[in-house]
Amino acid sequence: MKTTTSLYDVAEHLRTPEDMAAYLEACIEEADGDAVFIAKALGDIARAQGMTQVARDSGLSRESLYRALSGERSPSFDTILKVVTALGLKLSAGVRSEVEVT
């Protein structure tokens, strides 16, 4: 019996602003400082909202937005801030709790 598979696209499951915020928060937690990983997550969210609209709202060209959020390079922090704002999300800071291993 042959098993068929299809590609999973997380953007198809990011339907609400709450879904998008939770996804970004989870990716930030898992990124372990990897800016490219976070940029890719923002790219997933941007595709879910519509890349053309996000490009328009961020003031970036669609092509440069695709490149910046491809997961192949680390975009500038300025680009990240523009994209986060265009997506209607916000970045916040908190104190990292370290788990003590005994």
pLDDT in tens, 4-41: 998 999 999 999 999 999 999 999 999 988 999 999 99
* Residue 69 within any structural domain of the chain: yes
Residue 22 in domain: yes
39 lies in some domain: yes
96 belongs to a structural domain:
no
Model pLDDT, residue 101? 63
**DSSP helix, strand, coil percent of the chain (3-state; round to 5):** 60, 0, 40
Domain housing 30: 13-86
Number of structural domains (the chain) is 1
CB atoms within 10 A of CB 82: 20
In a domain, 57, yes or no: yes
Of the candidates 26, 25, 28, 23, which has an alpha carbon nearest to the alpha carbon of residue 13? Answer: 23
* Residue 97 resides in a domain: no
Q: What pLDDT is attached to residue 9?
A: 92
**Whole-model pTM?**
0.85
- Tell me the average pLDDT across 59-63: 96
102 within domain boundaries: no
Distance CA 92, CA 94 (A): 7
